[in-house]
Structure 1
Amino acid sequence: MSIISMILVVFVAFLAGLEGILDQFQFHQPLVACTLIGLVTGHLEAGVMLGGSLQMIALGWANIGAAVAPDAALASVAAAIIMVQGGDFTNKGVAVATAVAIPLAVAGLFLTMIVRTISVALVHGADAAAKKVISQA
């Protein structure tokens, strides 16, 4: 993979991760993320096949209330990179990348829960600091 492709893959990964929170343009959806990675690496057809496979799995994933869905963006980006680096763009390669994506999505779920738990403590600290600044003024 060339340097330009690597930079573009990192940019797509950044967009996919950001969209998992913002939810504006659906870059975090597996079909979009894998297709974009396939496009920037020159393997568009394989990216679409992988994205479609992962999208069918991720159709039922949704954040409802306090329940956190598996991280489709992390799974999609990592599986697409693994497939491109592996060089197997057949149905077998897509199946292997899909099999790798599921545990990564669950790992992303746990990482998301950890980050959200830590951010609660940070927000409480920021609130306390803001009250202190306001009371001094």
Structure 2
Amino acid sequence: MRLRWIILVAALAALTAGGSFAALKIERRNERTDLARNLTGGDPTRAPKLMITYGCAGCHEISGLAGPSGRVGPPLRSIGERIYIGGVATNTPENLVRWIANPKALNAKSAMPLTGISEAEARDVAAFLYAQQ
């Protein structure tokens, strides 16, 4: 009987700890999303559709995005941890938006094409990329 009680208490402790860990993960994700919105002025919830529409996923592997996963360009995970955007511009929210909207303006030799994405849409995509960690 005592062994069952110990097992029950241990199981409840594990469930509580697991629940706390999950809640902490959700809280941190929400904090990253809020910060990304504030930094870029974009809405990351609009970005997945935009990245499919403009073909981003055709060339890049994008964390948090269901659908195609290209290998032409670099994977777009952990953008916030990178020093440079496109290998040429300091990683700032404004530079990321500029890069997404018009990569040729920052590097004329870039293989990244002009997609026709607007600055407002680029802000949404930048917010999404910064929110993903």
Kindly indicate whether structure 1 or structure 2 has the higher relative contact order, using CA contacts under 8 Å at least 6 residues apart. Answer: 2
Q: Which one has a larger percent helix, Structure 1 or Structure 2? A: 1
Give me the TM-score of the superposition, normalised by structure 2: 0.23
Tell which structure's C-alpha radius of gyration is larger: 2
